[in-house]
Amino acid sequence: MIDALGTTLPVFIGVTLVLAGGAASQAGHAMSLQWRPRWLVVFYMCLLAGGARFVTFALFDGVLLHGAGYLINAAVLTAVALLSYQRTRARYMVRQYPWLYEPDGLLGWRERAQKTERKET
């Protein structure tokens, strides 16, 4: 596991999932509220993955320039941030436009069914 991550599993869980994962979740939430595009979420998570690699290197004697470890960090953080982004967007669309949309699962929304009025003559 050390070969793939560039560090031990407990350090990976603590730094990447707990510390940087919380930051990724909050970043995805904030970017969704500001209506930022998804590609910007991916860009910022690549930067955050570099920061997580540095913390692993500086505090836990991990390998700094470890390609596979960086890609795994970036993939995990991007997944967390995009899930948070989509969940926030779905809640916001339903809350902001309740006459147009209704919830559709945990991460989606759909248009409300139009009620047809019957005219009786």
Residue 117: per-residue pLDDT: 61
Residue 53: per-residue pLDDT: 93
The domains of the chain are located at 2-111
Question: Encoding tokens for residue 96?
Answer: 């902001």
Residue 113: per-residue pLDDT: 83
Mention every residue, 6+ apart, whose C-beta is less than 8 A from residue 78. Answer: 24, 41, 42, 45, 46
Residue 120: per-residue pLDDT: 64
Residue 3: per-residue pLDDT: 74
Tens digit of pLDDT per residue, the chain (121 long)? 667 888 888 999 999 999 999 999 999 999 999 999 999 999 999 999 999 999 999 999 888 888 899 999 999 999 999 999 999 999 999 999 999 999 998 899 999 887 656 666 5
Residue 5: per-residue pLDDT: 82
**CA–CA gap between residue 6 and residue 1 (Å, rounded):** 8
Residue 7: per-residue pLDDT: 86
Q: Please tell me whether residue 94 adopts helix, strand or coil conformation.
A: helix
Q: Tell me the pTM.
A: 0.86
Give phi and psi for 103, each to the nearest 5. Answer: -65, 145
Eight-state DSSP code of residue 38: H
Residue 45: per-residue pLDDT: 97
Question: Encoding tokens for residue 40?
Answer: 């910007």
